[in-house]
Amino acid sequence: MPDTQSTSKVADFTAQQKLKAALRVLQGESVDAVAEDLGVTRERVQRWSDRFVEGGRAAILRREDHAATKSKKQRIVMQWVSLITLLLIVLFFLTRFLMNQGPPDGQ
């Protein structure tokens, strides 16, 4: 289903807002609830979330945001932030999985 929201409203979202929306979904809030809250389609929110999972914070930033981080030191910091964020997501889901497993039999 095509995204029916006006492009001007969608373009008004900053990279930080997209990042927060993606994190809300990853923390268990439904895509539909986040989309309704932000006034965009569920497909748009799902795309932000998918991009974040695939590439971390850097994947969700717009092109002009990347232009602001051209120095080598800033690029390295951004890579580390992305890596740490991705590791935190994995830890979150691993913890959720292990908590749902319960204790091993016999304990």
What is the pLDDT tens value at each position of the chain, 107 positions in all? 444 444 444 457 888 888 889 889 988 999 999 999 999 999 999 998 888 887 776 666 654 455 555 667 777 888 889 899 999 999 999 998 888 876 666 55
Number of folded domains in the chain?
1
For residue 69, give its domain range. Answer: 7-101
Give the containing element (helix H, strand E) for 84. helix 72-101
Please check whether residue 107 lies inside any domain of the structure: no
C-alpha distances (whole Å) from 91 to each of 7, 64, 78, 96 are 35, 31, 20, 8
Q: Is this prediction's pTM over 0.85? A: no
Please check whether residue 106 lies inside any domain of the structure: no
d(CA 55, CA 49): 10
Q: How much is the pLDDT for 21? A: 92
Residue type, 61: L
Please check whether residue 2 lies inside any domain of the structure: no
Q: How much is the pLDDT for 8? A: 42
Instruction: Give me the phi and psi of 35, to 5 degrees please.
Output: -60, -45
Q: How much is the pLDDT for 6? A: 42
Q: How much is the pLDDT for 15? A: 81
Please check whether residue 40 lies inside any domain of the structure: yes
Please check whether residue 42 lies inside any domain of the structure: yes
